[in-house]
Structure 1
Amino acid sequence: MVYSLDEGLESLLHRFKDFGPEYRWIGALFGSLAIEFFTNHLQCIEERYGKIDIFAVPPAGGASRNFDHMAEIIHSVRPWRTSWDLSLLKKKRNKKDERGQVDTECYDLSPGRGVEGKRVLFLDDTWTSGSTLASAAAAAKRHGAQKVVAVTIGRQLKKEWGTGRDIAQAALRRRYDVGRCVICA
């Protein structure tokens, strides 16, 4: 949805996730951005990838947190035009801590859930290396999902990471426009 330069998004996420209940209001900011994005661009996504059958989130990572931050973001705003499956996947084990490592076996489907032949969209808070969403997508594909689409609220750009410098420079050259997405731009 947005690019994050100089750790702006990460700073807000860190406060929201780790600084205690008095910072939970920040979830409404992320939820508002997400609902605005999907209102404007779900049609773009579905024209490109087909009608989304299941809207889900990857399991929350921080065992030290006493709340699911993505559920908090989703529940912080109304009205969603979609319904969210906040427990489609369950953790089999903690994902490897090495940044960028995809662990195709760390998630599994929760009991009673089915994705066979369906298109699944995963929403996560931030894309740093992509390994969380790639690991979640691997679980859905392993259980027969036809297509998996990943959307994040923010894409963390570090100039020293891969193509981060080029993307950051391009992002700085253009003005931010909530009505413009990478699919329909």
Structure 2
Amino acid sequence: MPEQWRFDLLKKNTTEKARERRGQLARNLFTADPQVDGARILLLDDTFTTGGTMASAAFALKERGATCVVGLSFGRQLGSDWNDNKELISTLPDRDLIIGDCVVHNKGRAHFGAIF
């Protein structure tokens, strides 16, 4: 069991939106605190789109000396026009997106019974 969860060991250096650097490793996107040296890090993110943000954060942590970085995201964004998602999307049941049921588009107020 970890002694303490820390939320202040990684700082984002820009306010630019992820779509500006989608899918790219941005080496200076994050700065990791020197205290991560030798640490095992669990990196949490709300949404995984292309992995660029997660990879950039992991890069900064490893560069600063973290021995292990494991990334976990709670959601995966899919685009029907993304070649690597076409097969996965084709396996999903046919259903329309109801924007009012989407937590992202409805300012965090989703009707979960309608999603599942």
Query: Which range, TM-score by smaller chain?
Result: 0.5 to 0.7
Shift >4 Å, 4+ stretches: none
Larger Rg: 2
**Counterpart AA for 2:24:** Q
**Counterpart AA for 1:124:** D
Considering fraction of residues, name the structure with more helix: 1
- The aligned counterpart of 1:169 is 90
Match of 1:106 among 3, 7, 29: 29
Match of 1:157 among 70, 78, 96: 78
Separation in structure 1 between the aligned mates of residue 29 and residue 47 of structure 2, nearest angstrom? 19
TM-score computed with the length of structure 1 as normaliser: 0.42
Separation in structure 1 between the aligned mates of residue 63 and residue 9 of structure 2, nearest angstrom? 14
Separation in structure 2 between the aligned mates of residue 169 and residue 147 of structure 1, nearest angstrom? 35
- The aligned counterpart of 1:68 is none
TM-score computed with the length of structure 2 as normaliser: 0.64
1:163 Cα shift? 1.3
Q: How do residues 125-140 of structure 1 correspond to structure 2 at under 5 angstroms?
A: 125-140=46-61
- Relative to structure 1, is the Cα distance of residues 84 and 166 closer, same or farther in structure 2, using a 3 angstrom cutoff? farther
**Counterpart AA for 1:101:** Q
Higher relative contact order (CA 8 A, sep 6+): 1
Runs of at least 5 residues in structure 2 that lack an aligned partner in the other structure: 94-116
SS in 1 for 2:88: helix
Q: Deviations over 1:109-153 (max 9, x none)?
A: 23xx52222221111110111111111001001011122111111
- The aligned counterpart of 2:38 is 117
